[in-house]
Amino acid sequence: MRALIQRVSQAEVTVDGRSTGRIGAGLLVLVCAMQGDPDDAPAKLAVRIAKLRIFRDEADKMNRSVTDIGGSVLVVSQFTLAADTRTGNRPGFSSAAPPDRGEALYLDFVEALRTLGLTVATGEFGADMKVALVNDGPVTIWMDSTDRA
C-alpha cells in the first residue's frame, strides 16, 4: 500500500457537495492499495502511520505522533498514487489493486487505525471527491508498505 501523509490543522472531503469526513488537527492520509499487497499490509501501514513522529513537541522538534497529540485522521482512497509516469505523458495505473481488492484493503486500513484508538473520518471509496486541507508546516510524507519488513 502507498500513502501520502499530510500533517494538517484541518481537512475535509466532500462528495457531491456533502461532507463525508472532516477533522481538525491531525493527518490527512491519501492511500492506495497496490497489486500484490498482502492481507496484513493495512495493519502494518496503520501502525507505522500512528507512530510517525511528525508533530512538534515542547522544544519545537518533530517528536510527537498523531496518537501522542490526540489528533484525528482523515483517510481518502486515491488510486492515482499508483501512477506510472516512466513513459509518455499519460500516467498508467495498472499497478493499482483491482477495485474490489482495493476497497477491501482500504476498509481494513481504516479499521486498523480505529483499532489503534484513533478517531478516523473517511472519504467515499471510488467517488469523485473534493479534498480541502490546511497543510501544517507544510509537512508531507510519502510511505510505502513495502519499504520496511
* Averaged pLDDT for residues 131-146: 94
Of the candidates 35, 80, 140, 146, the residue annotated as catalytic is 80
10 is catalytic: no
What is d(CA 149, CA 17) in angstroms, rounded to the nearest whole number? 40
Domain positions in the chain: 2-144
- List 6, 55, 67, 79, catalytic entry: 79
Q: Give the model's pLDDT for residue 148.
A: 61
- Among this protein's residues, is 79 annotated catalytic? yes
Q: What is the pLDDT of residue 65?
A: 98
Task: Using pLDDT thresholds of 50, 70 and 90, give the confidence band for residue 145.
Answer: confident
Query: Is 55 considered catalytic here?
Result: no
Task: Determine what percent of the chain is predicted with pLDDT higher than 70.
Answer: 99
Report, as an integer, the average pLDDT of 102-117.
Answer: 98
Average pLDDT over residues 110-118: 98
Query: Minimal CA–CA distance to 71: which of 6, 125, 19, 2?
Result: 6
Task: Using the predicted structure, report yes or no on whether residue 147 has a pLDDT greater than 90.
Answer: no
Of residues 6, 55, 67, 78, which has the active-site annotation?
A: 78
What Cα–Cα distance (Å) separates residue 120 from each residue in 18, 95, 124, 135? 18, 27, 13, 18
Query: pLDDT for 10-69, tens place per residue?
Result: 999 999 999 999 999 999 999 999 999 999 999 999 999 999 999 999 999 999 999 999
Into which CATH architecture does domain 2-144 fall? 3-Layer(bba) Sandwich (3.50)
Residues 25, 9 contacting (CB under 8 angstroms): yes
